Amino acid sequence: MTTPALLTPVRLGALQLQHRVVMAPLSRRRAAQPGDVPQPMHATYYGQRAHPGGLLITEATDIVESARGYPGAPGIYSAPQLAAWKVVTEAVHAKGGLIVMQLWHTGRISHSSMQVGGALPVAPSAIAARGKHVTAQGQPTAFEVPRALDLAEIPTVIMQFTQAVKNAQEAGFDGVELHAANGYLINQFMEDGTNQRIDRYGGSIENRVRLLLEIIDSASAAWSADRIGVRLSPGGSFNDMKDSDPVALYDYVVTHLSNRGLAYIHVIEPRESADTPEGTATSDLAAKLRAEFLGPVIAAGGFDQISATKAIEAEHADAVAFGRAYIANPDLVERFRLGAPLNAYDRRTFYGGDERGYTDYPTLSV
């Protein structure tokens, strides 16, 4: 019997995988307060979903205290955080799995209540996102006008990402993923709807992408390029993002990522909304970028087993990331292997709370 394409081995840089089912980065906002420290249930959660030769990508993790944008999101900048993450990586490795940490700085998608001393969030330019956000206490609030980073502050941001890479390595991770998608700080620099700077980090596409490339080069020097991935959301509008020429922008991005020996790029396919049912995804964008990128591509965004298998068979992607299905099915890979039905997810328990809807989903053996 032929092994389904989705369950065949693949290599992503330094990461040798036994199958192409990847757990997508999924914010769950259950870090202990104060301090944004992962709890024992984090180790249980990731350990449940670990699989021999399988790759898990963590929830987006703050690189420094000023990067915070959501209450309950974990960090990777303090000694207690590193110690707690070591327990997580050990749980995953005990099951033969691999785990990569997604690193983020939320930029303008924050609120002064989450910033040191009540300072304004920072961004490339002083442009507020439209819509609503939350305070540190979880109360709805309008986005604030962020403070534009001074040119002299940008090397510090690069250093903060680099230190986070070193911290992730110390905590036992197998690699890192830079969050350059979904309207957070790196993405804010990349797109001209949020970047109206007139210095070397604004204006032309080359200038707007400069921060991403400088972070990658610094991170690669600190660890290894083949253990670094980058998440991208070309054409995405989440968090009030827009660019006047996204095709030219992302062609430039992918071209300049190709010569850096990265583990992978992780491409989010556009969807109508976060509620778009699984199985409706196309792999058109991943296919386009895979043709341009000299390295592996992970596709994400609304895939189910059938559409993911088609994407692999068509060579539109090298692996596919699953989100909601992985939340509700700790043994997702085994269910795919057996063609077993999937548990339904409970959206009410996605963000915050305790073990309910986090570590209590049943496996086939229960």
- Residues with a known catalytic role: 184
CA distances to 271, 275, 328, 365 from 342, rounded to whole Å, are 22, 17, 8, 13
The pair of three-digit structure tokens given for residue 271, joined into one six-digit string = 């969807």
Q: Which residues contact 356 (CB under 8 A, 6 or more apart)?
A: 349
> Contact, 300 vs 321, CB < 8 A?
yes
Residue environment code for 323-351, b if the CB has 16+ CB neighbours within 10 A, otherwise e:
bbbbbbbbbbbebbbeeeebbebeeebbb
Place of tokens 């905590």: 171
Phi, psi of 90 (to 5 degrees): -65, -40
> Contact, 82 vs 45, CB < 8 A?
no
The Cα–Cα gap between 8 and 209 comes to 35
The Cα–Cα gap between 268 and 321 comes to 9
